[in-house]
Amino acid sequence: MDAIRIVGGAELNGVIPISGAKNAALPLMIASLLTDEELVLENLPRLRDVQQLQQILSNHGVSYMIEGKRPGQGSMDGQIVHLRAKEIIDTKAPYELVSKMRASFWVIGPLLARMKECRVSLPGGCAIGTRPVDFFIDGLKALGAQIDIERGYAVASAPDGLQGATFEFPKISVGATHTLMMAASLANGVTTLKNSAQEPEVTDLANCLIAMGAKISGAGTDTITIEGVEKLHGARHSVLPDRIETGTYAMAVAMTGGEVMLKGARADLLQSALDVLEQTGTHITVTNEGIRVARNGTALKAVDVTTDPFPGFPTDLQAQFMALMTRAEGTSTITETIFENRFMHVQELARLGASISLDGQKAHVEGGSELKGAQVMATDLRASVSLVIAGLVAEGETKVNRVYHLDRGFERLEDKLTACGATIERISA
């Protein structure tokens, strides 16, 4: 199994191109199930999760074609992918595929809407909380579906098609919002989704569905209205830039010092995180090219943060910010409100010399720690990259094991950091 080897101490200087967002790419790919025409996605990132979802969609009959390189296209540019579900040949999403990635459960919405029946395995995924699928099932039932849980599968049917309805999410859920929005696009009548997720990835999916002929309003607010249509058609859509990758590299620059242009990044997608970074003493400049991040000689200040649904501070940047706060002056408190088990990186950061204490869903980070390289173990996607950016400033060599987590969500991380002066490489364990 591969590992990442890092020798700390170098500043980051240069340009890092920001890839297409994983959390947008996955529902956009799943949306291809809604039409028998071709969906073309530009700026699709090269990630393990994208490859895994490709396999799952292929099982349903979706053809998948990657365009070849064009003149002037660099190795870091996103892919252009053609997906077409001309005919759904299998409405079962088997355990051996779905168990590898939670987001694959979202196929239940499009399959049910288009085929009026499906059998989808209950999901697996990262160990950062239970994340039940109750909201998905209750929402689809509100749209008229009959759903039973049998031997680990959600067996769903809607013989007369899904029917428009009003459904209020008991708790904000990005995945359930994606799923019900896709399902309602082909339902009979009008659907209103209340307490919906407002994340940019939800808006990106809505924009793609609208390009496919869906009638959706309110995406990006807590109330989304979908007027069902009989049929959706093909479209071409560009995946928005990854705000979590943007925030991760911004925090890496804040940690090491230096100056980096995050090319293609959009500040509006993570303004709360950028505001927090500025409070630490990091300089943020928004340009037409992207976001410039710099810290040249100034000490980092401790800042308290609480994770919240968008537009709040993202839970997916919590681990990275915790790594950053180990280098700040003073003590910071980080409160996690989204997932109940997302502090597994604390013990691994402690192996590098971090001083962090836990109190329920709060982590108290004593800044000013002198981090020293060590062997550490990645526990989930975002925790793994927090160990990488900690390794960038740790004295000596850090080896991050189980980096398959990184490959799920960060495209060519070693190449991007190496280009900016980091000493980092992938090694075969």
Q: Could you give all domains of the chain from N- to C-terminal order, each with its CATH number?
A: 2-17+241-428 (3.65.10.10), 25-238 (3.65.10.10)
The number of C-alpha atoms within 13 Å of 125 and in the hemisphere containing its C-beta is 19
Task: Give, rounded to a whole angstrom, the gap between the first and last alpha carbons of the chain.
Answer: 5
- Res. 1 pLDDT band, cuts 50 70 90: confident
CA angle 148, 150, 152 (to 5 degrees): 115
Give which of 274, 197, 185, 277 is closest to 231, Cα–Cα.
185
DSSP class of residue 340?
Answer: T
User: Mean of the pLDDT values across residues 21-32?
Assistant: 98
Q: Which two tokens stand for residue 357?
A: 């204490």
**399 marked among binding-site residues:** no
Which pLDDT does position 72 carry in this prediction? Answer: 64
Sheet containing strand 153-157, strands side by side: 92-93, 117-121, 153-157, 146-150
CA distance 47 to 45: 6
208: annotated active-site residue:
no
- One DSSP character per residue, 101-156 reads -GGGGGGHHHHHHHHSEEEEEPP---SS----SHHHHHHHHHTT-EEEEETTEEEE
For 233-262, the pLDDT digits (tens) are: 999 999 999 999 999 999 999 999 999 999
User: Which pLDDT band, with edges at 50, 70 and 90, does 99 fall under?
Assistant: confident
Do 246 and 262 contact (CB within 8 A), yes or no?
yes
Is 333 exposed, middle or buried (CB count within 10 Å of its CB: 0-12, 13-18, 19+)?
A: middle
Q: How confident is the model at residue 3 (pLDDT cuts 50, 70, 90)?
A: very high
Selected catalytic residue, list 118, 126, 208, 420: 126
Q: What is the pLDDT of residue 130?
A: 46
- What is the structure's pLDDT at 333? 98
Identify the weakest region by mean pLDDT among 115-124, 217-226, 302-311: 115-124
Mean of pLDDT values over 307-329: 96
Report, in this order, helix, strand and coil percent for the chain, each rounded to 5. 35, 30, 35
Does the pLDDT at position 127 exceed 50? Answer: no
pLDDT range class, residue 125, cuts 50, 70, 90: very low
- Whether 338 has a binding-site annotation, put simply, is yes
Any known ligand binding at 22?
Answer: yes
